[in-house]
Amino acid sequence: MSRLGETPSQTVGPYFSMRLSAEGENVLTNRDDRIVIEGRVTDGAGSHIEDTLLEIWQAGPSGRYNHPDDRRELELEPSFTGFGRTASDFETGEYRFETLKPGRVPDPEGAFQAPHISLIVQGRGMLNPVFTRIYFSDEAEANADDLVLRSVPQPRRHTVVADLQEESDPPTYRFDIRMQGDDETVFFDF
């Protein structure tokens, strides 16, 4: 049977927030042990991008995904979907998520990946989505063993590691997204 061609991607345009990224969609939990991920999205000129759509997808604290293909007998909090989305701020390009730190998910070689969150970035002026991962600076040991992170050239690895802010409460990780230029964020194909 001949394969059908994929429907091509188009930009989300300037008006996606009519529907996508409604208020509260960036808050995945109100638990006391929640973490904050925040950062700024910038373009190739270093200017903030005022209209990007940011979507995250992650496992829960046990390392299990809330998804029918993940049938491992690990704890799954029904109210924690692992999905969130938000828009970068029009004036500053900043975004923020409140979520739980994910547990470790297996890799295809039988080892465990370092805790990470998948991130999809789209926006006006972006004709395709880009995919990256958010790792955590306080997981140095796990990061050093991570199959995906090890494949990132060393000088670029820091672009996918969120920095834990000193004395932040709740623990707040900084993850800036640079679409181009010095320290361009690593984007993945899979």
Partner 1 sequence: MTEPLIRHYGPKAYSDHPPFSYPDYKSTVLRGPSLDLLTIVQTLSETTGPGPVWTEVSEEDADLTTNAGTGETAIGERIIVTGRVLDENGNGIPGVIIELWQANACGRYVHWRETEFPAPLDPNFIGVGQCVSGEDGEYRFLTIRPGPYPWGNHPNAWRPAHIHFSLMGPSLGSRLVTQMYFENDPLFGFDPIFNSVPEHARHRLVAHYDHDVTEENWALGWRWDIVLRGNAATPFEEQGE
Which 13-72 positions form the footprint of partner 1 (CB under 8 A)?
13-20, 43-45, 47, 49, 53, 55, 57, 59, 65-72
**Contact residue for partner 1 among 35, 54, 161, 186 (CB under 8 A):** 186
Whether the Cβ atoms of residue 147 and residue 155 lie closer than 8 Å to each other: no
Task: Tell me how far apart the alpha carbons of residues 33 and 16 are, in angstroms, rounded to a whole number.
Answer: 31
Kindly state the number of chain residues that form the binding site for partner 1, as judged by CB under 8 A.
73
Provide, rounded to whole angstroms, the least separation between the CB of residue 118 and partner 1.
5
Task: Tell me how far apart the alpha carbons of residues 97 and 94 are, in angstroms, rounded to a whole number.
Answer: 11
**Contact residue for partner 1 among 33, 75, 140, 151 (CB under 8 A):** 151
Instruction: Kindly tell me which of 159 and 165 has the beta carbon lying closer to partner 1.
Output: 159
Q: 3-state class of 142 per DSSP?
A: helix
Count of residues for the chain? 190
Provide, rounded to whole angstroms, the least separation between the CB of residue 186 and partner 1.
6
Q: Which stretch binds partner 1 (CB under 8 A): 91-99, 104-112, 136-144, 166-174?
A: 104-112
Q: What is the token pair recorded at 109?
A: 């070689």
Distance linking the first and last C-alpha atoms of the chain: 24
Nearest to 90 by CA among 56, 128, 124: 124
**Contact residue for partner 1 among 141, 167, 182, 189 (CB under 8 A):** 189
Q: Which stretch binds partner 1 (CB under 8 A): 31-39, 103-111, 136-144, 168-176?
A: 103-111
Based on the shown chain and the rule CB under 8 A, indicate whether residue 187 belongs to the binding site for partner 1: yes
Based on the shown chain and the rule CB under 8 A, indicate whether residue 176 belongs to the binding site for partner 1: no
Whether the Cβ atoms of residue 80 and residue 59 lie closer than 8 Å to each other: no
Based on the shown chain and the rule CB under 8 A, indicate whether residue 81 belongs to the binding site for partner 1: yes
Q: 3-state class of 150 per DSSP?
A: helix
